[in-house]
């Protein structure tokens, strides 16, 4: 098979057409299209699924619309703590970072952990020390300053409340999954966390098995949602296990996990997934999910709301 395909997401939540302007919707769609186009170009040229998902995710990190990289929300102390992870399906290698500050592209940082350290998961100041050694690009606080994000913090800073992206209703995460011409799968996920976040909270995005998983024998998965539920449900690996051990199709496995298991425990969110046969599933139990895919046959879809 030579089918290649990439899918991306920009977060799930209460994304309603009634709350969206035509102009804003267009901005989101242009940004998603850009990430898809740059990702598929790598696959078309014979690049690896890993390179495609990492690059597509970095494009979304660079866009201030999404809560990851440049667009990350503010923590309680007025900074940005970002998490990211990446997994390669051919050798089950993985890399992840949590609670890192001033890293321009946390997904590149996670990839460096995978490729240039003997570890899988680094956090905080120690992870940043590794990033400097690896010449990962840092950015100033000004780079990450977005006025609307700062206003979101000021609204609730003096409360104990933590807030999801956009009006307490959107889970801000970006991610990508892909299959390359060689049949290799890969997944990447990146997030800026929750507004007014304290206590070094880590969600599912940097957790291999929860927010990210890839295995050439089954599928590649990137999640977005209420992270605590996704950690407790080991969501990404659960999709893989339902396929490998129970013989479910990709769509059946995604539906079982997102529409049944997560929904039954009020775990809001969704995921994108691609299997070894180049099937693609984009499933969510929330009102909407920024999402899209593009494949070798030229199919190209970008969606925001329930279809």
Q: Which is nearer to its own copies, 226 or 276 (CB)?
A: 226
Of 178, 194, 200, nearest to 87 by C-alpha is: 178
Q: Which is nearer to its own copies, 23 or 118 (CB)?
A: 118
Q: Check binding of 221 to its own copies (CB under 8 A).
A: no
Is 195:25 a contact under the CB 8 Å cutoff? no
Active-site residue identified among 173, 189, 191, 195: 173
How many whole angstroms separate alpha carbon 84 and alpha carbon 191?
Answer: 6
Q: Check binding of 260 to its own copies (CB under 8 A).
A: no
Q: Check binding of 193 to its own copies (CB under 8 A).
A: no
DSSP string, 228-267: HHHHHTTHHHHHHHHHHHH---HHHHHHIIIIIIIHHTT-
Q: Which is nearer to its own copies, 81 or 287 (CB)?
A: 81
Q: How far is the CB of 188 from its own copies (least distance, A)?
A: 15
Q: Check binding of 265 to its own copies (CB under 8 A).
A: yes
Q: Check binding of 169 to its own copies (CB under 8 A).
A: no
Helix 49-62 / helix 22-44 crossing angle, nearest 10 deg? 150
Interacting residue with its own copies among 210, 254, 258, 289 (CB under 8 A)? 210
Q: Segment near its own copies (CB under 8 A), from 1-9, 14-22, 240-248, 298-306?
A: 240-248
Strand order in the sheet with 280-284: 212-214, 219-225, 269-275, 280-284
How many whole angstroms separate alpha carbon 153 and alpha carbon 197?
Answer: 10
Distance set, CA 116 to CA 55, 90, 97, 132 (Å): 18, 17, 13, 13
Is 70:61 a contact under the CB 8 Å cutoff? yes
Interacting residue with its own copies among 42, 53, 94, 254 (CB under 8 A)? 94
Q: How far is the CB of 109 from its own copies (least distance, A)?
A: 11
Site for its own copies in 106-145 (CB under 8 A): 117-127, 129-130
- Bridge partners, 95 (sequence order): 86
Q: Which is nearer to its own copies, 26 or 198 (CB)?
A: 198
How many whole angstroms separate alpha carbon 106 and alpha carbon 66?
Answer: 14
Instruction: Indicate if 195 belongs to the active site.
Output: no
Is 76:39 a contact under the CB 8 Å cutoff? no
Q: Check binding of 203 to its own copies (CB under 8 A).
A: yes
Q: How far is the CB of 206 from its own copies (least distance, A)?
A: 9
How many whole angstroms separate alpha carbon 177 and alpha carbon 170?
Answer: 21
Q: Which is nearer to its own copies, 83 or 287 (CB)?
A: 83
Q: Which is nearer to its own copies, 39 or 89 (CB)?
A: 89
Residues belonging to the active site: 173
Binding site for its own copies (CB under 8 A): 87, 92-94, 98-99, 117-127, 129-130, 162, 198-203, 207-210, 213, 227-228, 231-234, 237-238, 241-242, 245-246, 265
């Amino acid at each position: 098979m030579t089918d290649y395909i990439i899918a991306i997401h920009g977060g799930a939540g209460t994304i309603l057409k009634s709350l969206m302007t035509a102009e804003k919707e267009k901005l989101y769609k242009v940004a998603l299209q850009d990430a898809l186009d740059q990702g598929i170009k790598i696959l078309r040229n014979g690049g690896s699924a890993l390179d495609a998902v990492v690059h597509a995710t970095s494009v979304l990190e660079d866009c201030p619309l999404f809560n990851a990289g440049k667009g990350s929300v503010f923590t309680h102390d007025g900074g940005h703590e970002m998490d990211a992870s990446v997994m390669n399906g051919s050798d089950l290698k993985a890399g992840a970072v949590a609670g890192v500050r001033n890293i321009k592209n946390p997904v590149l940082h996670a990839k460096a952990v995978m490729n240039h350290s003997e570890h899988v998961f680094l956090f905080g100041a120690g992870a940043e020390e590794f990033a400097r050694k690896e010449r990962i690009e840092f950015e100033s606080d000004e780079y990450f300053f977005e006025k609307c994000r700062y206003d979101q913090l000021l609204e609730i800073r003096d409360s104990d409340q933590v807030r999801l992206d956009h009006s307490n209703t959107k889970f801000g995460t970006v991610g990508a999954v892909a299959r390359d011409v060689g049949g290799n799968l890969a997944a990447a996920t990146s997030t800026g966390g929750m507004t007014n976040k304290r206590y070094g909270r880590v969600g599912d995005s940097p957790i291999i098995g929860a927010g990210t998983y890839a295995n050439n024998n089954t599928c590649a998965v990137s999640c977005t949602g209420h992270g605590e539920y996704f950690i407790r449900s080991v969501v990404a690996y659960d999709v893989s296990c339902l396929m490998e051990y129970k013989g479910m199709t990709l769509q059946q496995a995604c539906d079982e996990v997102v529409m049944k298991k997560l929904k039954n425990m009020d775990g809001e969110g969704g995921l994108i997934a691609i299997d070894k046969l180049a099937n693609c599933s984009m499933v969510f139990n929330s009102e909407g999910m920024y999402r899209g895919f593009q494949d070798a046959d030229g199919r190209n879809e970008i969606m925001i709301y329930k279809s």
